[in-house]
Structures are given as structure tokens and as C-alpha cells.
Amino acid sequence: MKICFTADKPNGLESVLSYHFGHCPYYVIVDVEGNEVKNVRSIPNPMADEHNPGDLPAFMKEQGINIIITGGMGPKAQQYFEDYGIKPVTGTYGRVKDVLEEYLHGKVSYGATEATEPHEYKKDENDKIEQLKKEVAALREQLADLKSVLKRVEEKLK
């Protein structure tokens, strides 16, 4: 089974999940047999800047992806993935390794979320928007770190 995760950086299993599948900078593709990771690779999103509806689901099908796990995805995109036989899982957060482990052990309890459609912004707002995007990415990384710490604490308490 091939599982694709959206990612902010190409750090394999250490990558932090990106919120939106279509505009994320990278994908982390994990080959899994049973619950064992066989291969991990990070690839740039070839359509991060621009794509038509259905382009990315078709690309994922060509890559042999069975499941895509991301923070958010609109309902049309989810339908495209389902039409290609790819299961979309949304509402996730954290590091790829943690979310993968939760998914493989049936502990994914995330609610479905929809990504916000991109808006047209005035040119003078672009700098502020870029800064906010960087701050959001930094917050996601901090949240992923906290989730990893919480997991270690829970394991010690068992």
C-alpha cells in the first residue's frame, strides 16, 4: 500500500503535515506492507503553484497512491480522489511518522475538514499574507513537536 502525506518540507517521516494537499510544497510517499514501512521518499509537488481540478488526483493515481493523508481538502477534490480509488483522509496534523503510526493502528480520529478556496488578494497585501503563511507553518511544526512529546509521555505512563 502506498500512502501519500502532504508536507511543508522534504524531511521524510520527520516532515510536518501541510494543511492543504493541492498547494503543499512536498509530498511524502510511504510504501507500507502490513504495518511495516518499506520505503519513504519525498517529492516536490509539481503543481503547487497551479493546477486544474482533477490534475493532482490523476498524478497520484500515476504514482500508485492508495491513500492520501492531509490537513484539509475540499469536497470536489475528495470526490476526484475517490473516483480514482484513492482514499482521502483529512483533518490530520503532526509529523508524518506519528500520523502514519496512528493511521496504521486505527487510531486516527480526526474530523474531516475542508480547505479554504484560494482568494484573490490585493498586491499590497501579499507581504502580509506571506508572513502569515510562514507563521502558520511554524505553528504547525510546534504543534507537531508537542504532539511527539505528548506521545512519549503517554507511553511512559502506560
Q: Is pLDDT larger for residue 149 or for residue 107?
A: 149
pLDDT per residue as tens digits for the range 132-150: 676 677 677 778 888 888 8
The rounded mean pLDDT for the chain is: 82
pTM attached to this predicted model: 0.71
Q: What pLDDT does residue 116 have?
A: 36
For 71-101, b/e burial (b = at least 16 CB within 10 A) is bbbbeebbebbeeeebebbbbbbbbbbbbbb
- Average pLDDT score over residue span 70-96: 89
Fold exhibited by the domain 2-157? Nucleotidyltransferase; domain 5 (3.30.420)
